[in-house]
Structure 1
Amino acid sequence: MLSTGGSYSFRVMTYNIRYDTVKDGKNQWSLRKNYLINLIRNRMPDLFGVQEALPNQIFDLQHALSAYRYYGVGKNDGKRWDAAGTRTCTWVKLRDRYSLQIFYHFNTHFDSTVGSSTPIMLTGDFNASPHSDSYRAFITNTIFKDSKNVSEKSHCGPDSTFSTFIVGNPMGKQIDHIFVTSQDFKICPVDVVDRCNLGLIPSSELSWPIACRTLRSEDSRFHVHNGLLDIIRNLRPTKQNELRILLLGLDNAGKTTLLKVLASEDITNITPTQGFNIKSVQSTGFKLNVWDIGGQRKIRPYWRNYFENTDVLIYVIDSSDRKRFDETNQELFELLEEEKLHDVPLLVFANKQDLLNAAKASDITDGLSLHQIRDRPWQIQGCSAYTKEGVKEGLEWVSKTVTKNKK
């Protein structure tokens, strides 16, 4: 969401979790609920619409996902919409705690036989494919757009969202959708979750998560930073006209994801870096090189091979992995003692701030004793490489610091 103070992101997810019935045999709720719960924990949506959930299933979700609260009524409180059975549409009016923007969230489940100035999301199992009359009714001459179609980048995963419990069976149609008022939302990476666990599928249908931001209502635009190009455009020409940034941190800190974000690349498929990645961006006669070096313990001794001529050191920390704070602190201060990195400006990205258990940047500053650093300019910036929050602010500090040092 956008406010006068900056942008904030939230994640939306819809999932028909399939009602609890003994008729499902080995796929009944008691045998698959943990897989579904773990999937939700992995995706960590801020808003989560479920369909076909019975009271005992809601209780299980609430008990296992204590950070969430639910709102909804039972099927008997619904109405018939020219359908074979009773249906409900649950809606809530929400206010973002950071931007204070008010928006609505509607969640429903349509029968298989079947304008507002405030931002609206509509999630659900519609039992309607993109070729059906029901689907077209939502996007034809209405305020809604299919989030899949207005996403900045192509989605990953299968096109369909209907499946059986049997792994390997052919996929069905795409019948689950997230509709948005397109002028109010910027749709980030979209994907269909088709994860299997030990040969089991959490539900007979697949979930459809997206990441999105609401926009300023007064101009309906969202201003996106251009990653590495932002640094170049703010730099003054030098004799070398080349800047070298070294990206380090422990394994699983999110360095490669961050590098792809800086280069405006897709982040849906990330694998651990076994050696190094390099991204080069050139504009207005200036070249910027960013080196991402793997963080596994066996690779760290080779870090020093890349210290030469470093202009900026970016150190990435997994803010949610508190058990490794001592380890990352030791590695960081050993880096700062390296002669070839003497006086090199340091930016610490406290990554994964989108996770509930992430430590705040201020707490990491105290825990890692960053205030003891006095031989170079340094800055710590809370960020999420996944949602891109805080990345721009970190780049702006790099740009200002490098420009100042190059004078």
Structure 2
Amino acid sequence: MGLLFTKLVKMFMDEEHKVIVVGLDNAGKTTILYQFLMNEVVHTSPTIGSNVEEIVCKNVHFFMWDIGGQESLRTSWNTYFADSDFVIFVVDSTDRERLHISKVELSKMLSHEDLSNSRLLVLANKQDVKGCMTAAEISQQLQLTELKTHSWNIQSCCALTGEGLSEGLEWMTQQVSAR
């Protein structure tokens, strides 16, 4: 009876979860954040510091911290890690030359103690561009299948149209329910 009551209460309570949205510069992080928020494209400029927005999906409140991805800012990413339930790692699917840098940055992040319990959503952005890498190619290059320390998912998306973003958010919501 106690377990059933707890599950029912959790089902109707609003939950809050911290999400950090990271990736290399020009991957589309801010565009994705505002597509989640307003379902439209907003003109953006490179993020210096961070943007924070609340996204609600099925009574789950995700506080999304969009963090600048320029090389000079990446060393400060770890100041945002504390209490993060999710990492959304955005990859520019057209940027083959820097995918190895994404791999290194992702690996560094996921080895950080403050992210040991976080779940990972990789968004393979810019899928609308001809010749882009597929989500499967990106997954292989990032060696996601070898990742045993975190629950993860990769989702193809296009920040400009919003395609694939709701599926990513749905995966996050399911992860919350599963715990």
TM-score, normalising length: structure 1 = 0.40
Residue in structure 1 matched with residue 159 of structure 2 by the alignment = 385
Deviation of 1:327 after TM superposition, in Å, equals: 0.5
Q: 1:242 to 1:259 in 2, by over 3 A?
A: same
Deviation of 1:285 after TM superposition, in Å, equals: 7.1
Q: CA RMSD in A?
A: 1.9
Structure 1: gaps spanning 5 or more residues: 1-234
Question: Which of 11, 24, 41 matches 1:236?
Answer: 11
Q: Distance in 2 between matches of 1:279 and 1:366?
A: 31
Residue in structure 2 matched with residue 318 of structure 1 by the alignment = 92
Residue in structure 1 matched with residue 27 of structure 2 by the alignment = 253
Residue type of the alignment partner of 1:292: D
Specify the SS of the correspondent of 1:299: helix
Q: 1:284 to 1:352 in 2, by over 3 A?
A: closer
* Cα-to-partner distance string for 1:214-242 (whole Å, 9 max, x where unaligned): xxxxxxxxxxxxxxxxxxxxx8356x831
Q: 1:285 to 1:379 in 2, by over 3 A?
A: closer
Deviation of 1:265 after TM superposition, in Å, equals: 5.4
Runs of 4+ aligned structure 1 residues displaced above 6 Å come to: none
TM-score, normalising length: structure 2 = 0.88
Deviation of 1:288 after TM superposition, in Å, equals: 2.7
* Cα-to-partner distance string for 1:164-195 (whole Å, 9 max, x where unaligned): xxxxxxxxxxxxxxxxxxxxxxxxxxxxxxxx
Deviation of 1:282 after TM superposition, in Å, equals: 5.8
Structure ID, larger Rg = 1
Please show how residues 365-380 of structure 1 align to structure 2 within 5 Å: 365-380=139-154
Q: Distance in 2 between matches of 1:387 and 1:361?
A: 17
Please show how residues 95-106 of structure 1 align to structure 2 within 5 Å: none
Residue type of the alignment partner of 1:364: I
Q: 1:262 to 1:283 in 2, by over 3 A?
A: closer
Structure whose residues are more often helix by fraction: 2
Number of aligned residue pairs: 170
Structure 2: gaps spanning 5 or more residues: 1-9
Q: Distance in 2 between matches of 1:319 and 1:365?
A: 11
Q: Distance in 2 between matches of 1:286 and 1:357?
A: 36
Identical pairs, percent: 38
Kindly indicate whether structure 1 or structure 2 has the higher relative contact order, using CA contacts under 8 Å at least 6 residues apart.
2
Question: Which of 347, 355, 361 matches 2:121?
Answer: 347
Q: 1:369 to 1:283 in 2, by over 3 A?
A: closer
* Cα-to-partner distance string for 1:108-164 (whole Å, 9 max, x where unaligned): xxxxxxxxxxxxxxxxxxxxxxxxxxxxxxxxxxxxxxxxxxxxxxxxxxxxxxxxx
Deviation of 1:270 after TM superposition, in Å, equals: 1.2
Q: 1:237 to 1:304 in 2, by over 3 A?
A: farther
Q: Distance in 2 between matches of 1:283 and 1:399?
A: 7
Deviation of 1:369 after TM superposition, in Å, equals: 1.0
Residue in structure 2 matched with residue 399 of structure 1 by the alignment = 173
* Cα-to-partner distance string for 1:323-361 (whole Å, 9 max, x where unaligned): 001001100011110000003110000000000021000
* Cα-to-partner distance string for 1:9-45 (whole Å, 9 max, x where unaligned): xxxxxxxxxxxxxxxxxxxxxxxxxxxxxxxxxxxxx
Q: Distance in 2 between matches of 1:244 and 1:403?
A: 15
Residue in structure 1 matched with residue 3 of structure 2 by the alignment = none
Residue in structure 1 matched with residue 5 of structure 2 by the alignment = none
CA contact (8 A) 2:39 2:162 kept: no
Q: 1:337 to 1:265 in 2, by over 3 A?
A: same
